[in-house]
């Protein structure tokens, strides 16, 4: 039986190649084992769970990070990009974010849309290479 | 062309029958027109929009309200019930809420699960009638 | 020259008679001096300041507590009552709170309106005595 | 009878000339109709309401955005500028923001004062042109 | 080598006897494996870590939950009780909570003190049995 | 008997030399007396209190600011630096911050670790001079 750490490692390498090594290099000297904790809990015990498809998981995360306000803007952008890879269209992501005007307020929703536009611009730049 | 107010009114009567009248009776003397504002913006200009199905909209709202913490517990319960009517299974709702441990913290996610259990218990009680 | 503690004490006795003694009795054994700290900073160094009238100060506080969500509902009710004594009409308070739908989200604003209705109901009950 | 959209459009053009067109250009391809939704709800169904003067509405918004913390700093600056146009003095704005030390904490209030100083510096630069 | 799940299970049984079984009974049918995830991550990969003693860990948690506001009041009370078992005096807990007036605002700090008083009253009631 | 203002002034000059003068110069024209209010309440009536040592006070503040999210990043960095002067090791600070993944979410904790790395890098740069 695959452990949650193994399942998490496989998924994080698929979704964010090199993430665990990057986290370990950046934080491992200060907080030993933190990278493995993220791989096990956030990936193995959350995103890799079978009960909800990845596309839906990204809807949930994009919504929550938008409603919480712009302090997690870097992570919101990472998850918007992840949502795109999981099959969300740009318009679907726009709808999720704008709906958060109802729960996080209009400024939070607009800041979320700005994060999305940055991610989509980066996609366009990549496509042109 | 149907106005957003008309579209919103139709959807709110379908999702929450009698809501506009209840809001108007409760708050209309204090904040005139507030009920129509909710029907137009929250329903006509958000939930009735074609770009994202209702099921996905409820995933987003349940996620955001969970991550924001228990202060909006009444509204979280209403949206969990709405998500059930839109086709989310109990397990899918549980997954969305538990995933919010990553973004709103473990207490917020557990409080969200408690809200869900209350909604599901009410469903069971209704089924027994 | 009156100290901020003296100015604060005078104003808190005017706005919330007996508050300092109540705080001291309730928390003073656990956090010595905390009651005087509230009297000095919150009243003497904030509410008693001349640069903004009390009525406007209550608009600000009612708005902030509403937008922050229902976790400070007891304090929101105290400040709604304070705003009424400072001259805000019920309708003005309703407008301030409902405007917070834009910044704290619709659930936070509705929970704020519910707090206001409780305060106004208590006023009506007092008037009938 | 003027619709809320018409009232909102008139007020937003007065307070933020060109805003609707800018929003539509920036977000309209991603979230169709979002600009009109802001004009109708935020302006027509909130700021244009007769029950509370604009000056007081800006006190409420500046307070809420300060207390919520610096994630909405761009919007706080826009509303500080709006409050100035509605007749708030710099000192009144400073008092509203500093009072939020009581509700959003000292860091949030200081970050709000920093936003105000930036707006006032921009005013001074304009005056010198 | 003891796994984080084993370390976490040992610590959670010491700090909160029966917690894993209670969580599994309450949520396990809805979110399978969630109880083990809490035991592994929250206990094995956080509270059981050697780099900071339990007493200091409870200072951190009590501070954060207080500053975040009363939505996590049940969890705040659990952690205040945990802090007491880890050696914090009532006065030290009072100081941590009251200091949060600076970061979460005065209402959040007062609500935190109220949670502490409830925990201490429960201690006194136990002592009298 | 030393007043809280005098105690606060002594401690703030020890922990943050020149802070009161800097605050007064920056904000005093806009919000007269605000600097003294910070010295009296935040230092004299909080950090200078005898019931909890400075080291523990910094654990509490670092935890709360991390959990609240990155909007108070400047103040988090100041308090991490203060915690170092009060005797916290880098690893202890890392543990406090990473533990906040449980209460403020994983993004907030990672953003807090990034703030800590910036402070420690500045320390290293100073040591090399």
Which residues from B are below 8 Å from C94, CB to CB? 27, 30-31
CA distance B53 to E119: 46
R_g of chain D computed on alpha carbons: 16
E70 pLDDT above the threshold of 70: no
Task: Give me the pLDDT at residue C70, please.
Answer: 61
- pLDDT average, residue stretch C42-67: 98
Instruction: Give whole-number Cα distances, D98 to C97, D32, D93, D105, E101, in Å.
Output: 20, 39, 9, 10, 14
Q: Is D70 a residue whose pLDDT tops 70?
A: no
Q: What is the pLDDT of residue C25?
A: 98
Tokens of A49: 């769970």
Structure confidence by residue, pLDDT tens digits, B83-117: 999 999 999 999 999 999 999 999 999 999 999 99
Phi, psi of F49 (to 5 degrees): -65, 140
Please report which confidence band the pLDDT of residue D40 belongs to, taking 50, 70 and 90 as the band edges: very high
Helix axes B106-128, B90-99, angle to 10 degrees: 160
Q: What pLDDT is stored for residue F70 in this prediction?
A: 60
Report the distance separating Cα E67 and Cα E105, nearest Å: 7
Task: For chain A, give every domain's residue range.
Answer: 1-49, 53-129
Whether the pLDDT of residue E1 is over 70: the answer is: no
Say how far apart CA D94 and CA E102 lie, in whole Å: 18
Please tell me the predicted confidence (pLDDT) of residue F71: 76
Q: Do D75 and A110 touch (CB under 8 A)?
A: yes
pLDDT at residue number A128: 82
D69 to chain A, any CB pair closer than 8 A? The answer is yes
Cα of D39 to nearest chain C Cα, Å? 12
For residue A125, the tally of other CB atoms under 10 A from its CB is 9
In chain A, residues with a C-beta closer than 8 Å to the C-beta of B108 are none
- Residues F6 and C3 sit within 8 Å (Cβ to Cβ): no
Distance separating alpha carbons of residues D3 and D6, to the nearest angstrom: 5
What are the φ/ψ torsions at residue E113 (nearest 5 degrees)? -65, -40
Q: Which long-range contacts (CB under 8 A, 24 or more apart) does C84-88 make?
A: C84/C119, C84/C123, C85/C15, C86/C53, C86/C54, C86/C55, C86/C57, C86/C58, C87/C55, C88/C55, C88/C58, C88/C59
**How confident is the model over A97-125, as a mean pLDDT?**
97
Q: How does pLDDT run across F84-118, given as a tens digit for each residue?
A: 999 999 999 999 999 999 999 999 999 999 999 99
Quick: pLDDT tens for F62-93.
Answer: 999 999 986 789 999 999 999 999 999 999 99
Q: Which CATH superfamily is domain F53-129 in?
A: AhpD-like (1.20.1290.10)
Given pLDDT bands bounded at 50, 70 and 90, which one contains residue A113? very high
Mean pLDDT calculated for residue range E65-94: 94
- Per-residue pLDDT, averaged over E57-74, amounts to 92
Average pLDDT, chain D: 96
Q: What is the pLDDT of residue A71?
A: 75
Amino acid A19: pLDDT = 96
* D92 contacts on C by Cβ (under 8 Å): 51-52, 56
Q: Is D50 helix (H, G, I), strand (E, B) or coil?
A: coil
pLDDT at residue A13 tops 90: yes
Residues ≥6 apart with Cβ < 8 Å to B12: B19, B20, B38, B39, B43
**Mean pLDDT value across residues C42-63:** 98
Matching residue, tokens 């510096």 = D121
Count of C–E CB contacts within 8 Å? 42
Residue B116 contacts E where some CB pair is shorter than 8 Å: yes
| Residues C53, C50: Cα–Cα separation, whole Å | 7
Neighbours of C26 (CB within 10 A): 16
- Per residue in C63-84, pLDDT (tens digit) is 999 999 867 899 999 999 999 9
Checking if the pLDDT of F129 tops 80, the result is no
Subunits with 3+ Cβ pairs within 8 Å of F are A, B, C, D, E
In whole angstroms, what is the distance from residue E93 CA to residue F54 CA? 14
- Asked if C30 is an interface residue toward chain E (Cβ–Cβ < 8 A), one would say yes
How far is Cα D84 from Cα D93, in angstroms, rounded to an integer? 8
From chain E, the residues in CB contact with B117 under 8 A are 26-27, 30
pLDDT interval class at A1 (50, 70, 90): low
Mean pLDDT rounded to a whole number for chain F: 96
Q: Which region, left, alpha or beta, applies to residue C9 given φ > 0 means left and ψ of -120 to 50 means alpha?
A: alpha
Asked if the Cβ–Cβ distance from F70 to A68 is below 8 Å, we say: no
C95 touches chain D (CB under 8 A): yes
What are the pLDDT digits (tens) for B15-64? 999 999 999 999 999 999 999 999 999 999 999 999 999 999 999 999 99
Q: Which two tokens stand for residue F60?
A: 């509490």
Q: Which tokens in the block code for residue C52?
A: 């903004």
Helix locations, chain B, DSSP H: 4-15, 19-27, 34-37, 54-67, 73-85, 90-99, 106-128
- Looking at residue A70, its pLDDT comes to 60
| Nearest-CB residue to D72 (from A69, A90, A113) | A69
Q: Smallest CA–CA separation between A3 and chain C, in Å?
A: 39
Q: Which residues contact C117 (CB under 8 A, 6 or more apart)?
A: B26, B27, B30
pTM for the model: 0.97
Dihedral (Cα; F54, F55, F60, F64), 10-degree rounding: 100
Q: What is the pLDDT of residue F1?
A: 64
């Amino acid at each position: 039986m695959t452990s949650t750490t193994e399942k998490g490692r496989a998924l994080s390498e698929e979704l964010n190649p090199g993430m665990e090594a990057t986290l370990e290099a950046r934080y491992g000297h200060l907080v030993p084992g933190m990278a493995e904790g993220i791989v096990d809990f956030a990936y193995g015990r959350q995103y890799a769970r079978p009960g909800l498809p990845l596309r839906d998981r990204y809807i949930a995360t994009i919504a929550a990070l938008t409603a919480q306000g712009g302090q997690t803007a870097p992570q919101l952008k990472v998850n918007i990009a992840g949502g795109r890879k999981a099959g969300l269209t740009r318009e679907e992501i726009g709808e999720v974010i704008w709906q958060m005007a109802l729960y996080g307020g209009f400024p939070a929703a607009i800041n979320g849309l700005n994060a999305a536009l940055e991610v989509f611009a980066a996609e366009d730049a990549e496509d042109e290479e």
